[in-house]
Structure 1
Amino acid sequence: MQMPVIYTNFISTYLPILNPLFNFPYVHINTISSSVTAKLIFNAFLNAIFGLVHTVFAQEFAQVFLGRFLFPKQTLRTVYCLLVTVTAFIIMGFWQHTHIQLWNWLPSTMSDYQQNLALFFIFNVIYAPAWYVVIQFNPFEFCGLKQIFNKTESIGCPYSSSVKSEARTINNPTLVTTGLFRYCRHPLYLITLLSLTITPVMSLDRLAFIIYTCIYGSIGIYFEERKLIQIFGQAYIDYQQHVPAIFPFSVSKTKQN
């Protein structure tokens, strides 16, 4: 849970005003500094905060409340993205490092900066397909900008309340089952796990974060798919029965007639 050196060096050189924001960790909690178990429990609590925000604020009741009392409906997707981003910074900023390395297969002759650069490159190569998924849904819609600036479409927006739940993305009311969605229902979860797991360097902190992510995914997917069933109905139920949730090699128990 450390910011890559390539990022911190760029920020300190060109955007020094942001140094306090990216200077992780924000604080060392002395009362748990000597206990690895206490650190792991505390870090799990941080991930639980992220999971709570990521799941609860995506639910229709939360979106209806925010749209009715706090924010214009066309800004809800952007507000949601900002909330998730803030909680991600909370995880990184307050993460208590165990400083335990499980393995490092990179050459010992490489400097710390070279190792960080190699890890940054490997992660982004593996994560690259995730950007294809974002493009499928339109990046501007994904972060909520289109909903804000397109007046003709701001009347109806994702997560708004209606007799029938509206589509999760404007102008995309049909279920997407093409591209990576042909192989698993949640390719972003899969790609994130692969990006974290396939690495020549593994620390206890990284392994713990992978485990926390798997636990959250098993819970978050349930609530996400419950909402998708409300949106797409029987079409999504059929999709569930024939396409695995995360791992493409999983075999569905229900065969198509």
Structure 2
Amino acid sequence: MVSRVLILLYALVSYALFTVSFLYALGFVGNYVVPSSIDKSIDKLIDVGSPAHLSEAIVVNLLLMSLFAIQHSVMARPAFKQWSAKFLPAACQRSTYVLLSSLILLLLFWQWRPIPTPIWQTSGLAAWLLTGVHWLGWLIAFASTHMIDHFDLFGLRQAFLAWRGAEMPSQSFRTPLLYKIVRHPLMLGFLLAFWATPEMTAGHLLFALANTAYILIALRFEERDLIAEFGATYQQYRQRVPMLVPRLFMRRQTGDRRPVGESQ
């Protein structure tokens, strides 16, 4: 019982840290400055912070994003999960993934070097539209986690089942809501949030480009794992539904009622 309680507490702490990192990401990417009267130390955003030499900023920022990409991708692979299962309880694996991802994100926010050179600037209706798309992206990303299983995705469900002494049920395959029009709405939401901005700087562009490249590469590996797990069912899903860009007109098809969840 003690170990079960510890696993549950571990999951709750990991989820709390994810919540902090996600909320900070909203302000970081959107340049929403926290009033200095609250805490001056957290006025560190994608375009706000201490100036740095251009070459230093590019190298440091790319290293930070590479660290996140490597951790995020390596720990998501089935081979790593099998290896880590030798010394890490299955109920802790997702929470550990969430914990490390959140810590690296916070490190990225803390050590990010802004490059404020303007690329584009808009005002009026265009600025309002871009801001709207930006927040739509965050909404899509957050909503997508609930369309599959938010608490499973972030390790709470596994820990709660372990606390109850219950076994994890086998993963099924389904395509709820947005998953019927794009295979990866979570990643689509992130791309919209990263690119839609009324004021694009060189630093923000570097962030958007690097993360877009990572997402496109990572999805190839993720889909390979999904094909290995679900076989022809996922192959047929790939043929019907685009990866990131929804089709304007799609035939109504029946058949697949069994999910896809975003892998780690």
TM-score by structure 2 length?
A: 0.70
Aligned length: 219
Deviation at 1:124, TM superposition (A): 2.7
Amino acid at match of 1:209: F
C-alpha separation in 1, matches of 2:203 and 2:165: 43
C-alpha separation in 2, matches of 1:184 and 1:42: 34
Q: Give the one of 80, 88, 93 matched to 2:110.
A: 93
Aligned to 1:139: 150
Q: Runs of 4+ in structure 1 displaced over 4 angstroms?
A: 4-7, 118-122
Amino acid at match of 1:150: L
8 A Cα contact 1:104 1:200, kept in partner: yes
Amino acid at match of 1:75: C
Cα deviation code 1:218-244 (max 9, x no counterpart) = 211111111111221111111122222
Cα 1:243–1:122 change in 2 (3 A) is closer
Cα deviation code 1:86-140 (max 9, x no counterpart) = 1111221211111212233247xxxxxxx9xx99876334421222211112222
Deviation at 1:7, TM superposition (A): 6.7
Map 1:21-60 to 2 at 5 A.
22=42, 24=44, 33-34=52-53, 36-60=54-78
TM-score by structure 1 length?
A: 0.72
Aligned to 1:123: 134
- Higher relative contact order (CA closer than 8 Å, sequence separation 6+): 2
C-alpha separation in 2, matches of 1:75 and 1:228: 22
1:103 is paired with a residue whose SS is strand
Q: Give the one of 92, 108, 111 matched to 1:75.
A: 92
Taking only aligned residues, the RMSD between alpha carbons, in angstroms, comes to: 3.4
**Unaligned 5+ runs, structure 1:** 108-114, 157-169
1:68 is paired with a residue whose SS is coil
8 A Cα contact 2:121 2:199, kept in partner: yes
C-alpha separation in 1, matches of 2:225 and 2:113: 34
C-alpha separation in 2, matches of 1:53 and 1:209: 17
Amino acid at match of 1:101: P
Amino acid at match of 1:65: W
**Unaligned 5+ runs, structure 2:** 1-24, 255-264
